[in-house]
Structure 1
């Protein structure tokens, strides 16, 4: 996510010609976009990071469901 924020900031600074970013070539910004694309579309799935995040969300949902069920069980007694 930080790389996406960096790209947005660089595009805005370049577009509005702020300070030294006015002289920055668009090629550098496009290269950073390419790096972001390679990371999110190739490396992250290859390393399993996308599935690990989804697994963590499912695990947290499971723990919340179990806790809620035990709390409901305690209230009934």
Structure 2
């Protein structure tokens, strides 16, 4: 995501002719977009994106259960 923001910022600086980016080649300005595409392709092909989404969902589920147990006056179980 950071590379995408960097690419947008560099493109804007190049388009508005703000130095020193104005003198750079368009290839250098557009490189962050290529790196972003490579990152997304790698993350999707290796399952990194799905794994992170599942971890986030599991954490939300655990937090919800702990909150319900606490509301009932029960202490959440300690990790083993």
TM-score normalized by the length of structure 2: 0.77
Higher relative contact order, chain-length normalized (CA < 8 Å, sep 6+) = 2
RMSD value, Cα = 1.7
TM-score normalized by the length of structure 1: 0.79
Deviations 1:7-59 (A, max 9, x none): 1110111111111211112122233312211211x101122220122012111
Structure 1 or 2: more helix by fraction: 1
Which residue in 2 is equivalent to 1:22? Answer: 22
Runs of 4+ in structure 1 off by over 6 angstroms are none
CA distance in 2, matches of 1:6, 1:19: 16
* Length, aligned pairs only: 74
Structure 1: stretches of 5+ with no match in the other structure? none
